[in-house]
Structure 1
Amino acid sequence: MDTEERRSPVSTGSGARIPRQPLWVEEPAIRWRMPDPVRTAAVRAVLIMSLTIIQAMVALLCTITGSWLAFPMLLSSVGSTVVATWSVLDVWVTRQVWNQRHGVVSVPSSSARQLRRERRAARRTARAAERERARIRRRGASSLSRA
């Protein structure tokens, strides 16, 4: 098959051309992507936790074999467990801080959304009333000048 034949749309025996189907169809994401700082903290936590698990396995295997490395590995595993716990807490704190700085998560049951909606409606009503008062004042001033 020639290169040009591969690039062109598929043809049937009758001469009609059928357009090629795309390789994949993009579907919208079900969940929103995590913010960058939270995702960074989560990746860091996963890496630290996986290294801690590997270290604990090495400590266990060294203990089983009776190696001199068992005790130092046990001590470093305990330290790594503390660091892994700290990193998981860091993900949680980073997520809370991000939510606090960038507003609440807007979900239909969010009370903040309802409060914002009520405040907007009150501001809209106040602006409409102010425009109406200004219009009445202008009309009243112009009727006084005619008399």
Structure 2
Amino acid sequence: MTRADARDHGSEPTRIAAVESVLHSSAFHRWLGLEIVRADDGEVILHLSVRPEHVVNGAPSYVHGGIIAAAADLAGDLAFVTRTGTGRPTVDIRVDYLRPANPDVDLRVAARIVRQGGRFGVADIHVHDTFQREIALARALYAMS
């Protein structure tokens, strides 16, 4: 991508359109059900309405960690979409689960670019419930080239 291409994704409507395009491009992304709350330069906030298929039915029930990890990974990728206009492959992701996510409470997933280099980019992702309790922290590495 040229510098001119990157500048084309600088306006808010263009960033949101690029993020929506990637968010809705995959059946899995659509199945997750994430919605865009905000898309700024290098940052995104997504909303996840928890559904029964996201939940582990044990005693007690909780949102499956794979759902949280997938939402975090996608949010990190979309943070780069705000700058590049396209999705980037994940090289590595680490997710630290801080507490179980209550299946009756929606989640907010916020990602911010920490570093964007020529070959790799790093994003930090925070997952909170609607009571502002931190559910998980993630750091992900994406291929830029």
TM superposition score normalised by structure 2: 0.26
Q: Structure 1 or 2: larger helix share?
A: 1
TM superposition score normalised by structure 1: 0.26
**Structure number with larger C-alpha Rg:** 1
